[in-house]
């Protein structure tokens, strides 16, 4: 399952690239959050407009369909960097050292292969929509921008997976207990301690 993670840093090239790339991932996740907020505002305007003035937002469903791709995919690499995606830790949590980093490398490599296949397939869908001018049913919005979001976001995820493969390979080579630029799953005690520390800091402010 998913859990809280920490990402260690140092002055290596890998760590610098990780921090730099995380800024892009954070920005994309922020765009996704802003999109959700805009959809909430749009829903309120649609409901109030229909209720008060019998004037709903034109093409409301079309707009929602367009924005769904934005908030559903732009944060996917951000979540991967933080180790937030759902995974099964029953086996992995009981192994350590090179075996752990090898298993993480293999699973991340499989994710990368699947992601690259999805990038290719989603790009073909975008290209087809762009070439033939596909549009939405109600107000004829062009749908290629929403379809372009998918291969773009998956490409960002692919780059994140490549960085993590580098991190796991380095950890395997060095037999490290504290690898750089990969999510380290925290146990329940560590999670509780970190949460308590966060609450304490907020109370002091």
* Per-residue pLDDT at 77 exceeds 70: yes
Instruction: Give the domain ranges of the chain.
Output: 7-191
> What's residue 138's pLDDT?
87
Band the pLDDT of 1: cuts 50, 70, 90. very low
Band the pLDDT of 95: cuts 50, 70, 90. confident
Measured distance between the N- and C-terminal CA atoms of the chain, rounded to whole angstroms: 33
Which structure tokens are listed for 141? 């919005």
> What's residue 188's pLDDT?
57
> What's residue 98's pLDDT?
93
> What's residue 38's pLDDT?
95
**Cα–Cα nearest to 111, from 76, 158, 150:** 158
Band the pLDDT of 173: cuts 50, 70, 90. very high
**Residue that wins the pLDDT comparison between 204 and 163:** 163
Long-range (24+ apart) CB contacts under 8 A made by 196-205 are none
Contact 55, 9 (CB under 8 A): no
pLDDT in tens, 35-48: 999 999 999 999 99
- Map 123-157 to HEC letters: HHHHHHHHHHCCECCCCCCECHHHHHHHHHHHHHH
> What's residue 84's pLDDT?
83
Spatial CB neighbours of 26, under 8 Å, sequence gap ≥ 6: 78
Distance CA 121, CA 115 (A): 10
* Per-residue pLDDT at 115 exceeds 70: yes
Distance CA 34, CA 70 (A): 10
CA within 13 Å, CB half, 121? 6
* Per-residue pLDDT at 159 exceeds 70: yes
> What's residue 142's pLDDT?
94
pTM, full prediction:
0.87
């Amino acid at each position: 399952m998913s859990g809280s993670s920490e990402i260690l840093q140092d002055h290596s090239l890998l760590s610098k690239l990780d921090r730099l790339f995380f800024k892009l991932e954070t920005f994309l996740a922020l765009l996704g959050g802003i999109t959700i907020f805009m959809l909430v505002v749009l829903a309120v305007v649609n409901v109030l407009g229909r209720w008060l003035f019998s004037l709903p937002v034109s093409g409301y469903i079309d707009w929602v369909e367009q924005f769904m791709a934005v908030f559903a995919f732009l944060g996917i690499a951000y979540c991967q960097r933080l180790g937030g995606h759902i995974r099964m830790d029953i086996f992995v949590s009981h192994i350590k050292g090179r075996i752990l980093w090898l298993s993480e490398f293999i699973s991340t490599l499989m994710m990368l292969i699947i992601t690259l296949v999805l990038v290719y397939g989603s790009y073909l869908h975008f290209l087809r929509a762009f070439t033939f001018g596909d549009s939405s049913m109600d107000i004829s919005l062009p749908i290629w921008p929403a379809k372009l979001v998918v291969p773009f976001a998956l490409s960002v995820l692919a780059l994140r997976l490549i960085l993590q493969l580098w991190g796991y390979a380095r950890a395997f080579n060095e037999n490290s207990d504290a690898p750089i630029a990969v999510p380290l799953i925290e146990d329940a005690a560590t999670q509780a301690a970190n949460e308590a520390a966060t609450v304490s800091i907020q109370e002091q402010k």
